[in-house]
Amino acid sequence: MPLSPNTLTLLGFAVSVAAGAAFALGKPFEGGLLILFSGVFDILDGGVARAKGRITPFGGVLDSVCDRYSDGLMFLGIMTGTINGRLVLTPILGIDGWLWAGFALIGSFLVSYTRARAESAGCRKLSVGIAERTERMLILAFGALSGFLGWALVLIAVFSHITMVQRVLRAKSILSNPSEPDVQKP
């Protein structure tokens, strides 16, 4: 692979920006395809870094920052598309699609933040929960491709908040017991 892991990360980010734009323009099918395409770069960047022995702390930071921006731009694209009327989502449980997208955005950010905060507090690796980023992006992509984008947003909103609670509870368990093997020793 002639491209560096960081270049692959940035290419995946660019594709995610295009996915957000597709949603904003009322093109959910294209948005779903672009999410899947961006996922290819998300897989490749880590794989290339490991294969070339080029895993770096900065690469991890860049990947995390690009993932957060990507998530935000995709959900903002959906919100923009529904508010300007280009993307029609029927209200679910009496809640408009743009608001479900907002709940999904908040949940997605909290899943990542909870992990980062717990790890900085001393947890080794907090990868628990039913809706990590890969699962959320697959739900969003397949919802967009199948015409069930509204329901995909509901699932992401619910599952991401459940994941955040799972992580908080796991962090509490780990950090309350300093002898647990998942606690980092200073």
CATH number at residue 44: 1.20.120.1760
Give the model's pLDDT for residue 170: 94
Query: pTM of the prediction?
Result: 0.91
Residue 186 belongs to some domain of the structure:
no
Active-site residue, 63 included: no
Give the model's pLDDT for residue 179: 73
pLDDT along the chain (186 residues), means of 10: 88 97 98 97 89 90 96 97 94 97 98 94 89 96 98 98 96 85 62
Residue 183 belongs to some domain of the structure:
no
- Distance of alpha carbon 31 from alpha carbon 74, whole angstroms: 8
The residue range of the domain holding 24 is 5-175
Residue 182 belongs to some domain of the structure:
no
Residue 105 belongs to some domain of the structure:
yes
Give the model's pLDDT for residue 182: 65
- DSSP code of residue 182: T
Residue 35 belongs to some domain of the structure:
yes
Give the model's pLDDT for residue 47: 86
Q: What is the total count of domains within the chain?
A: 1
Give the model's pLDDT for residue 183: 66
Residue 185 belongs to some domain of the structure:
no
Residue 126 belongs to some domain of the structure:
yes
**Among the options 67, 71, 96, 182, which is catalytic?**
67
Q: Where are the beta strands (DSSP E) in 83-132?
A: none
Burial class (CB in 10 A: 0-12, 13-18, 19+), 134: exposed
Give the model's pLDDT for residue 124: 84
H runs (alpha helix) in 25-56: 28-51
- Distance of alpha carbon 182 from alpha carbon 14, whole angstroms: 36
